[in-house]
Every structure is written in C-alpha cells, then in structure tokens.
Amino acid sequence: MLTLPSRRSVLTGLTLAPALAVTPHGAWAVPEGEGAPLPDARNTAPSLSRAARKGGRYYGAAARADHLRQDRALRAAVLRDCDVLTPEIHLKWNSLEWRKGQFNFAPVDDLLAFSDDNGLRVRGHTLLWEQSTPDWAKRELLEQRDWRLMAEHFSRVLGRYGARINEWDVINEPIDTEAGAGSLRRNTFFRAFGPTYIERAMEEARAHAPRAHLVINDYGFEYGNPVDKARRQAFVALLRRLRAADVPLDGAGVQAHLDLSKGPIDKVGLQDMTKALIDLGLDITVTELDVKEAGGSHSTTARDQKVADETRRYLDIMLAFPEVRGVVTWGLTDKFSWLTEQVDARVRATEGVNRGLPYDESYSPKPMYWALSDTLGVSS
C-alpha cells in the first residue's frame, strides 16, 4: 500500500480508483496505480494556486475530510488548485465537542494528514462562532459566566493544533449592526462576559499560539444597502479600537459571500473599508468567497456568466490592494456547497444546485474559475 505523498500521484490516478483506505497509523493511502508518473500535461494544466502565486498571493478552498475521502475528483481538484485548505466544519466547537468532554478530533487530524502529505497550509476556522457553539457550552457560559470555560476550549484546540495551524479566525461574525449592542452581536460570549470578550479571546489565543496569525472574520461588507454600509463601519471601528488598545490582532478576514440579489457591489464603500483596515496595519484575507444566485429561469450559461462577472467585479476591487494576501473560496465544486444546503427543495427541483463555486457538479471549470484565475494572476 502506498501513502498519498504528493500532488503528482493523485493527479495521475483520476480515472483509476476505489475509495481511499486508512492505514493503521492514520495516513492517507491510495491503491496501487495512483503513483504512476504524471503526463506532461500537468505542467500546462490550469491551477488557481499557480495563478495566485504569480500575483504574489495564495488561493485555497474550504473542504470537509469526509468529502475528500469519498470523492477522488475533489482530491484531484484540491491538489491541482489549492495551496491552502480551510476545514469547513471540523474545527468548530460543536464539531469538536458536541457533548461536553467527548472530543471528536479525528476529522481535523484526517484533514491535517492529507494537508501534510501534500504540502497544503491550513486556516484555523474558527475558535468562536455563535452558530457553532454547542448548546451545553452556551448554557454553561450563560449560567456560570466563568472565563475558564473559554480558556479550556482555547487551550484544548490551540494546544493540539496551534503549532501546526498558524492562522486562526479567532472570532467569527462578531458584528451585528441591527440587533447588536454598539454594533456587537449579542452572542453567548457577549452576554456572558460583556463586549470585552473580544479582547480577552484575542489575548487567550495569543497566549496559547504565540506565533500564529490571529484574525477576526466577518461578512456583509460588499453591497450598497444601509446594513452593509453600517457593517463596514462597525468592522473598521471594532478593529481600530482593538489595535489602539494593543490587543493581539494580525489580520482581517472578509468572508465575501456574494449575493446576486443584493444589487451592485459598492466599489467605493469596499475600497474605503479595505484602505481603513490596511491603515491599521492589518493584512486582509478573503476567507469564504462564493456567489449566491438570484434564482430565476435563466439558462445555465447565463447563470454561470453572472456568477463569474460578480466574482470578477469583487476581486478586481479587492486584489488591487497588495495587502489582500489570499483568496479562499467556500468550497470548490457546486457538488458540495453550503449555499445548496440552504436552497428550498422546490427551488432546487427546478433550478438545481446553486452554481456559485469555480467547478460545476462534475468538476468542469465554469466561467467563475477563469474569473478567479485571471484576477489572481495579476500582481497589484
């Protein structure tokens, strides 16, 4: 049995393939035949990472370990296109510890083994997110208001992965300009510890991962509506306050879940926010790019073109800033898109899956792929 050592072996074996097996020591193993020499075509095959490197950046995607194991074409696409992987769910608190004290590290370890075997970097997503906090933790945090519960979580996750994963979305989605208090989301952490949970969480992360790149990640910055405008201002204000107080913070994560129903991207608004974040000395990562379609009865070709145009419009603005150092899409293929998870069954029956990622369901690159490749390939 061979371990899965390189991009080369996976790329060559595209048509061979039974599912991967796990060796006793947990490494990724592939059947005989996958290690055959790669045809020369590899050198001319497109690769979003290669384009991004040319532009002085990186490209990556979110993925799940179970999908990688079950889907050979997904592995091939990841290895062809990505320098970076974000675990889509496995590092979230409710995945790691759905029941108090019962830990589920296996999917993270699995994804890390795959990444190690293939030279991929991993983004740590995410230590604190209201939506992925298990109910027991919410309850205990609100009842006890004891920071040790937070400290234990940080220590457990960063103690295990803090040296291997050197970039973390420490806090995910702290902004809420509509129902928030002072634009901060009234999440469990806010309710238990007040607004300074943010400072304390960043300090806690720094204490457990002294060399890691620490990021605050949020969404809803792209469009011209009043909510997005307020969110841009609130995000800058929060990060400015943290920098002024010397709170550990290295980068800003902008999710970039684009949405065709939200009207044109607010170019000036987005530029102003990005400049303001850069002026704070932060670098910027596009952490979760995808495009939600407006729906309707358009042809697939027309839908794909709209998605690509939106991607290009967005990246043309963002990638004009050299401080935007990487782009991660929230998946690679429409086969596995969280946007489809949210699509109503009736809509899905008529319109199919959401087509907001670079590859379609059968791994043909769509116009969005080329929009990414073109824009990433230009250095700013």
Nearer to ligand XIL, 55 or 235 (CB): 235
373 binds ligand XIL (CB under 6 A): no
In this structure, the strands spanning 2-3 and 28-30 are antiparallel
Which residues, 57 to 96, sit near ligand XIL by CB under 6 A? 88-89
Q: Is the dihedral of CA 262, 283, 217, 227 positive or negative?
A: negative
* Distance (Å) of CA 326 to CA 308, 316, 357, 369: 18, 13, 17, 16
Q: How far apart are CA 281 and CA 274, in angstroms?
A: 11
222 binds ligand XIL (CB under 6 A): no
Smallest distance, ligand XIL to C-beta of residue 376, A: 22
Instruction: Select the residue interacting with ligand XIL from 105, 147, 321, 338 (CB under 6 A).
Output: 338
**Do residues 360 and 352 make contact, with C-beta atoms less than 8 angstroms apart?**
no
The vertex-150 CA angle with 147 and 153, nearest 5°, equals: 150
Smallest distance, ligand XIL to C-beta of residue 255, A: 6
Smallest distance, ligand XIL to C-beta of residue 74, A: 15
Nearer to ligand XIL, 143 or 341 (CB): 341
Nearer to ligand XIL, 51 or 111 (CB): 111
172 binds ligand XIL (CB under 6 A): yes
Nearer to ligand XIL, 8 or 67 (CB): 67
Q: Concatenated DSSP letters for 52-66?
A: HHHTT-EEEEEE-HH
Smallest distance, ligand XIL to C-beta of residue 336, A: 9
Nearer to ligand XIL, 89 or 319 (CB): 89
Q: Which residue is nearest to ligand XIL (CB)?
A: 338
Per the rule left: phi > 0, alpha: psi between -120 and 50, beta: everything else, 213 is beta
Q: How far apart are CA 254 and CA 173, in angstroms?
A: 10
Smallest distance, ligand XIL to C-beta of residue 63, A: 10
Smallest distance, ligand XIL to C-beta of residue 124, A: 12
Residue 374: which of 302, 301, 329, 316 has the closest Cα?
Answer: 316
DSSP 178: T
334 binds ligand XIL (CB under 6 A): no
Smallest distance, ligand XIL to C-beta of residue 69, A: 16
Sites of contact with ligand XIL (CB under 6 A): 88-89, 172, 255, 288, 338
